[in-house]
């Protein structure tokens, strides 16, 4: 998937659910682990897919993602910030393994063709081979949501944030969940965390501003 297409799709990813959201998500520091509900955790885990042989990761030097986040935090021009954000997304898209990158491409193609069983299989394989690859968890959350399974989507969203607390597409998704369930104060906190990472995002600024005004109105 092209970086711009991925980034635009992230903005369209809005959960519509009444599922209770764990309060532990809503710290302003790094997101803690273990936030899946007891009912969710009690569900039997699916059997692990048969392993594939991974190709050795590409060891070519890359721009440090930490440096990119530092630049993103300092940049106030929206267009320039978008370029940096897309670079970060590009880093997240690259697992460092040719095998996993190929599985991710296949999963995207399968999802676009509505071949969801195949999409799940490719993503399951990617996660099995590299469980710390946050992008695979997030992509599977998208497929679960498009399949109408909010419970599993939330589980994978939680895993995404456990692997990479700065994964701003997942933070935006979380904020949208909270807004959809009228947890506006908590949603505002998540948008503030998002903006601490990506302050030049005008859409996020608008969301935070509207929530601030809405909350001020309810308190007056």
What one-character DSSP code corresponds to residue 131? Answer: T
**Residue ranges of the domains in the chain?**
97-164, 166-219
- Using N-to-C axis directions, what is the helix angle for 78-93 and 3-12, rounded to 10°? 100
Per-residue pLDDT tens for 130-141? 999 999 999 998
Tokens of 57: 């990761």
Per-residue pLDDT tens for 7-22? 444 444 433 332 323 3
Closest CA to 151 of 141, 161, 162, 138: 141
Per-residue pLDDT tens for 39-95? 233 333 444 444 444 444 444 335 599 999 999 999 999 999 999 999 999 999 999
* CATH class of the domain comprising 97-164: mainly alpha
Q: What is the pTM of this model?
A: 0.70
């Amino acid at each position: 998937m092209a970086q711009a297409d991925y980034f635009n799709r992230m903005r369209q990813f809005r959960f519509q659910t009444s599922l209770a959201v764990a309060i532990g998500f809503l710290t302003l520091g790094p997101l803690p682990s273990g936030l899946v509900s007891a009912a969710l955790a009690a569900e039997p885990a699916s059997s692990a897919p048969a392993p594939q042989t991974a190709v050795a990761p590409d060891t070519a030097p890359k721009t440090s993602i930490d440096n990119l986040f530092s630049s993103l935090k300092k940049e106030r021009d929206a267009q320039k910030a978008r370029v940096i954000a897309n670079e970060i997304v590009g880093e997240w898209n690259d697992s460092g393994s040719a095998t996993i990158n190929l599985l991710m491409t296949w999963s995207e193609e399968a999802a676009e063709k509505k071949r969801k069983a195949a999409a799940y299989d490719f993503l399951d394989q990617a996660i099995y081979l590299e469980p710390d690859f946050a992008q695979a968890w997030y992509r599977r959350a998208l497929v679960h949501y498009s399949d109408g399974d909010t419970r599993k989507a939330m589980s994978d969203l939680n895993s995404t944030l456990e692997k990479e607390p700065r994964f701003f597409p997942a933070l935006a998704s979380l904020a949208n969940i909270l807004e959809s369930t009228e947890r506006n104060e908590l949603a505002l906190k998540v948008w503030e965390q998002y903006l601490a990472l990506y302050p030049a995002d005008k859409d996020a600024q608008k969301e935070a501003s509207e929530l601030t005004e809405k909350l001020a109105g309810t308190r007056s």
